[in-house]
Amino acid sequence: MHNARDNILNRLRRQRPEFPPQDEPASMDEGNETTLQQRIEAFTEKLRSVRAEVHLTTEQDWCHKLQELCRKKELDNLLYGNQGPLAEAMEKHWNSDDSTPRLVTLNETIESWKEPLFNDIAAAVTSVRTGIAQVGTLVLWPTLEEPRTYSLVPPVHFAVLHADKLYNTFAEVVEEEAWQEGMPTNALLISGPSKSADIEQTLSYGVHGPTELVALLVS
Amino acid sequence: MQTASDFRQRSEEALGNPQIRRNFRFAMDGLMAKRRAGLSDPREREQLRTQCAGIRVNALSKLPELLEQLEGNCTRNGIQVHWAESVDEANNIVLEIMRQHDATRMIKGKSMVSEEMELNHFLEDHDIECLESDLGEYIVQLAGETPSHIIAPAIHKNRHEIAELFRQKFPDIPFEEDPEKLARSAREILREKFYKADVGLSGVNFAVAETGTLCLVENEGNGRMCTTVPPVHIAVTGIEKVVEQLSDIPPLLNLLVRSATGQHISTYFNMISSPRKPGEKDGPQEVHLVLPDNERSRIYEDDELINTLRCIRCGACMNHCPVYGRIGGHAYGSTIPGPIGSVVEPQKIGLDTLGELPTASTLCGACGEVCPVRIPLPDLLNRLRYEGVRNNNDGKVKGQSEQRKGTEAWIWKSWSWLHVQPMLYRLAMRTATRLRSLMPRKLGPWTDVRRPPRIAARTLHELAREKGFDNA
Amino acid sequence: MERQRHYPEKPGRIYFFGTCLVDLLYPEASLAGMQLIQREGVDVIFPKDQTCCGQPAWNSGYRDEARAVALAQLKCFPLDYPVVVPSGSCAGMMRHHYPRLFKNTPQEQQVQALANRVYKLTEFLVHVLKITLKDLGTPAKVALHTSCSARREMGVAEEHEALLQQLGNVELVEQERKAECCGFGGTFAVKHPKISAEMVSEKAEHISNTSADTLVSGDCGCLMNISGRLNHQAEKIKGKHIASFLWERTNADSQ
Ligand code: SF4
């Protein structure tokens, strides 16, 4: 279809558009300087407002919290990346304790585990790259160890976020982490459990993605 | 293809259907209230609108270069880019990709461009199952209908109608009227479809030239499913959807979501820059980007109409349109309804068939007032009215002049003739006031619901003269 | 919506541009507008050769016809006095659409200069004349429909309210969906009569729900539409153009 390409581009070049001069947006001094504490509060409030759970926890305690929540939710297995950043702490904790829920990891590629992923996995836990305080958002760059479907297919998604990584706005994340210098296969912003308002504008949760989103905010 | 030549009939039918009226009124009131609450600080709102308008204008002013840059970066990342001049070409590209993989099952995320292509019908004619997975789109597909709103496709139906539809289609699942339970039923039905699909198809909200990134905004997770689970992902989007750089994205996402639904952010924002890389465990092995033109490059050539292409499809203009709110989306008979539909669709399909749509507005300005990218929608509607009736055809707009009718043109000519002759005009007005008792009591449909207007006893010119304001 | 506009000092003299609809149906509205301005010590000139701003044809797509009529109006304003227009849609036509209508014509500059000095009457009273009003009328309950062009094209809805709020005996009541269009839209009402009828019926209902005794509008088109509907429903609500309303309540001889 190379013809189509050239034809389209040629047509677009035939006449350069002329726009009247555009207004400059007024600068919004966003009262930017926020403290970490303020960011944590904003993040928690916003994420809870869309029916996600947020638990404040610590480096020592988050595994315990995770396990406790799994048990409370009566989950009988938990998907995690056994080579991922959470693995070491989790395995240690799970070993020292009794070992429910069962920890599961999926090796090979999705082709070999699509069906169990959809049918058998009760929950998954992933790490989170950073968070956005103003809108209560988790920023994920899924990795080899914690692939994309982990945060998508299981009915419950636990997300472990280190509070020192909270940014105020999405614009700050993109700028300060210089995303334009190299984007991953998939970058994701997740702000709450899956939902829809397609029936009478009434919010229904858990449509295709996770029904529950649980953020463990570690500080 | 539907046409709007019978727009009037369809709109009158809709007006006569109290259920449709109620469903739309209820939904539009809700959406307007949510936007108001979500954008409550006028200073911030106007600042963001200016910023986003600037981003879109900047992108359009460099469109061919940005498209080449997008193509270059996508290709480097392993995304295969396909250009299509027409809807037919775009459909065939999709079909060809399906055939290369012996694919028979497609699962679709929301894509207005695929609606524009009528892709579902096309693929079904080629024995490919093509299933919508966005809840609203799924409902509409089950009912054999088309979307009536660009972000809330099933907005014309209420829960009872949807429950009834599910009962007919799935007699085995228990009857439910609760929206949450209906949504759960759809989840259960579609889950298997996601992992069995051979190809996932999605739209694109923004394509970033700088990095070759495709961005998708959604709440349900079906978009992520379609772009992650099947082995092949095909994204379709119009050539106008490109933006220059990644830093353009945060403000656009922010204002798009808040204008559309008043949420502070959508549940998911999905940025795709490549197919599965070696070592990665999931994600599609192939990603294709199909870029249909379908008249966009023609729209691009006009310095005023080009503003049509700024649209980021938030739906706010229809939510706030008093005409749309009363007749609903189907009355328009076009893929995209409401004010932006009345602007973009006649330019794509032709003013000959859809030339009535630009008249379906009082030009009250409610649409332009809320548009996040400041598209001057009333001005564009006005322009297309002109294109529809102008008598010197320059061939630049499809179906130009086809709305010109002899009597109407004659009336305006006579009107003009009278109003350029002040003396004659004054005489005519004076005569009208003197003959006011002869004014008919019935003035067509106007007086079906209104008293006829009463002509004054004396003209303004006479009164002004008497009081000495007259410059004579 | 219009960006922040800078207003001049009070001028010695202005041109007043009434409209075709006003001319035939509500001549007293324009007259009242001129009297209000004159009372503030400003000379009012009513160019007698004015006919119509051209908006009906412009909005119907008949641009050549609109331009011919607009061209005839240009002759009415030879000097650079402000041009004051009682109707929101005519003001919007002259201020915003004349420059588009005359783009790439020999009159382009002349028209832009004219557009720059066009004011909607209410805006002129508030911002240029800084008028203060003393209410001489009996207590009244008023619903206001500014017109969409006044509200969104000219961005002067608040000025209407400010003027009415100066009247001590007037209680301003707010109807549901206040900012929504009444469904007139010029030829829209002719081309899509059923939709228009639906819109005006709801508008009239919302207004009568307020139990207002007077409907005040900033535009004669809306006034004709809504009053026509109210009267059809045998509602007792009087329809008044804001200029007539202000003049009658503040002029001793009208009481
Ligand atoms: S025209 Fe503006 S308001 Fe309408 S859908 Fe497009 S971006 Fe949204």
Q: What is the pLDDT of residues C195-220, one digit of tens each?
A: 999 999 999 999 999 999 999 999 99
Is there a contact between B271 and B213 (Cβ–Cβ < 8 Å)?
yes
Identify whether C223 is part of a domain. yes
Q: Is C112 left (phi over 0), alpha (psi -120 to 50) or beta?
A: alpha
Inter-chain touch B412–C62, beta carbons under 8 Å: yes
Q: Which range marks the domain in which residue A143 is found?
A: 54-128+139-161+185-195+204-218
Residue C97's nearest CA partner among C63, C72, C145 is: C63
Q: What pLDDT sits at residue C95? A: 96
**Matching residue, tokens 């978009």:** B223
Residues C36 and C94 in one domain: yes
Is C7 within the bounds of a domain?
no
Question: Contact A207/B186, CB-based, under 8 Å?
Answer: yes
Q: Using 50, 70 and 90 to split pLDDT, how confident is the model at B21?
A: confident
The atom number, within ligand 1, closest to the CA of B315 reads: 5
Residue C46 shares a structural domain with residue C87: yes
Sole residue written with tokens 């829809």: A196
Stated length of chain B: 472
Interface check B61 vs A, CB under 8 A? yes
pLDDT computed for residue B2 by the predictor: 47
CATH class of B1-38+303-404: mainly alpha
Q: Do residue C65 and residue C163 come from a single domain? A: no
In a domain, A87, yes or no: yes
In a domain, A100, yes or no: yes
Q: Is the CB of B378 under 6 A from ligand 1?
A: no
Task: Answer whether C42's CB lies under 8 Å from C14's CB.
Answer: yes
Residues C39, C116 share a domain: yes
pLDDT in tens, B196-235: 999 999 999 999 999 999 999 999 999 999 999 999 999 9
CA distances B404 to B351, B408, B411, B444, Å, are 11, 8, 12, 22
Of C53, C32, C4, C21, the C-alpha closest to C156 is C4
Q: Quick check: is A113 in a domain?
A: yes
Domain final residue pick, C67, C98, C128: C128
Give the amino acid at B388: G
B273 CB near a chain A CB, below 8 Å? yes
Quick: pLDDT tens for A61-114.
999 999 999 999 999 999 999 999 999 999 999 988 678 899 999 989 999 999
Taking the Cβ of residue B115 and every Cβ of chain A, the question of whether any pair is shorter than 8 Å is answered with no
Looking at the CA of residue B316, tell me the nearest atom of ligand 1: 3
Q: Which of C74, C94, C128 is the last residue of a domain?
A: C128
Q: Are residues C30 and C108 in the same domain?
A: yes
* Domain at B63-294: CATH architecture: 3-Layer(aba) Sandwich (3.40)
Q: Is residue C1 part of a domain?
A: no
At C173, which CATH number? 3.40.50.1860
| Contacts with A, B 70-99, CB within 8 Å | 71, 82-85, 89, 93
Q: What local confidence, expressed as pLDDT, does residue C253 receive?
A: 82
CATH number at residue A102: 3.40.50.10420
Whether residue A143 lies inside any domain: the answer is: yes
Q: B–C: how many Cβ contacts below 8 A?
A: 203
Query: Which residue's alpha carbon is nearest to atom 4 within ligand 1?
Result: B317
**Whether residue B81 has its Cβ less than 6 Å from ligand 1:** no
Is A208–B139 a contact, with Cβ atoms under 8 angstroms apart?
A: no
Across the interface, of B363, B364, B422, the residue whose CB is closest to C51 is: B422
Please tell me if the CB atom of residue B316 comes closer than 6 angstroms to any atom of ligand 1.
Answer: yes
* Whether B346 contacts B384, CB under 8 Å: yes
pLDDT at residue C2 is higher than 60: no
Report the nearest-CA residue for atom 2 of ligand 1.
B371
Which residue intervals of chain B bear CATH 1.10.1060?
1-38+303-404
C169 belongs to a structural domain: yes
Closest alpha carbon to B433 in B409, B453, B411:
B453
CB–CB of A207 and B277 under 8 A? no
pLDDT digits 0-9 by tens, B175-185:
889 999 999 99
Q: A151's torsion region: left (phi>0), alpha (psi -120 to 50) or beta?
A: alpha
- Tell me the residue type at C166: Q
For residue B165, the tally of other CB atoms under 10 A from its CB is: 18
What percent of chain A shows pLDDT beyond 90? 84
Phi, psi of A129 (to 5 degrees): -70, -50
Asked whether residue A43 is assigned to any structural domain, the reply reads no
Helix (H, G, I), strand (E, B), or coil: what is residue C9? coil
Within-domain flag for A10 = no
Residues of B in contact with A174 (CB under 8 A): 246-247, 249-250
C27 contact B CB<8A: yes
Enumerate residues 206 to 225 of chain B having a beta carbon within 8 A of any beta carbon in chain A: 210-213, 219-222, 224-225
Q: Given an 8 Å threshold on Cβ–Cβ distance, is C61 in contact with B416?
A: no
Total domains in the fold of chain C: 2
pTM, to two decimals: 0.96
Are the C-beta atoms of residues A131 and A52 closer than 8 Å to each other? no
Is the CB of residue B183 less than 8 Å away from at least one CB of chain A?
yes
Of C102, C128, C154, the last residue of a domain is C128
Output the CA–CA distances (angstroms, integers) from residue C45 to C6, C29, C78, C84, in the order listed: 23, 16, 12, 10
- Could you report the per-residue pLDDT of A20-72, keeping only the tens digit for each? 888 888 776 655 678 999 999 999 999 999 999 999 999 999 999 999 999 99
Task: Kindly state the tokens that stand for B109.
Answer: 């995320």
* Bond preceding residue C82 cis, omega within 30 of 0: no
CB contact (8 A) between residue A25 and residue B158: no
Separation between Cα atoms, residue B233 and residue B218, nearest integer Å: 17
Q: Does the distance separating the beta carbons of B390 and C63 come in below 8 Å?
A: yes
Is residue C134 situated within a structural domain?
Answer: no
Q: Do C113 and C155 fall within a single domain?
A: no
Domain span at residue C225?
Answer: 140-254
* B429, burial (CB in 10 Å: exposed 0-12, middle 13-18, buried 19+): buried
Residue with tokens 């204002």: B255
Query: Is residue A183 over pLDDT 50?
Result: yes
C151 within some domain: yes
Are A184 and B270 an interchain contact pair (Cβ–Cβ within 8 Å)?
no
pLDDT at C3 over 70: no
Q: Does residue C5 belong to the interface with chain B, where contact is any CB pair within 8 Å?
A: no
- For chain C positions 91-120, those within 8 Å of chain B (CB to CB) are 97, 100
Centroid of ligand 1 to alpha carbon of B316 (angstroms): 6
Mean pLDDT of B361-389: 97
Peptide bond into B453 cis (omega under 30): no
The answer, yes or no, to whether residue C22 has pLDDT greater than 80, is no
User: For residue B275, which phi and psi values (nearest 5 degrees)?
Assistant: -75, 180
Residue B470, pLDDT score? 84
CB contact under 8 A, B267 and A135: no
Own/partner pairs for B401-409, CB < 8 Å, 24+ apart? Answer: B401/B351, B402/B350, B402/B351, B402/B352, B402/B355, B403/B351, B403/B352, B403/B355, B403/B356, B403/C61, B408/C60, B409/C62
Residues 285-304 of chain B with CB under 8 A from chain A are: 291, 293, 297-298, 300-301, 303
pLDDT of residue A30: 59
Q: Which chain B residue lies closest to A109 (C-alpha atoms)?
A: B281
Ligand 1 centroid–CA C241 distance in Å is: 34
Lookup: tokens for A73: 């939710």
Question: Per residue in C126-180, pLDDT tens?
Answer: 999 999 999 999 999 999 999 898 899 888 899 999 999 999 999 999 999 999 9
- Strand stretches in chain C, DSSP E: 13-16, 43-45, 83-85, 118-120, 140-145, 170-173, 214-217, 238-241
Residue B405 has pLDDT above 60, yes or no: yes
Tally A–B CB contacts below 8 A.
Answer: 263
- Do residues C67 and C171 both lie within one domain? no
Q: What are phi and psi of B243, to 5 degrees?
A: -125, 165
Tell me which residue has its CA closest to atom 3 in ligand 1: B371
Q: Say what the pLDDT of residue C1 is.
A: 44
Does the pLDDT value for residue B4 go beyond 70? no
Burial of residue A37 (CB within 10 Å: 0-12, 13-18, 19+) is exposed
Shortest-distance Cα residue to atom 6 of ligand 1: B311
Interface probe for A, chosen from B282, B291, B304 (most Cβ of A below 10 Å), is: B282
Ligand 1: distance of its center to the CA of B332 in Å? 16
Assess if residue C135 is contained within a domain: no
Amino acid B1: pLDDT = 43
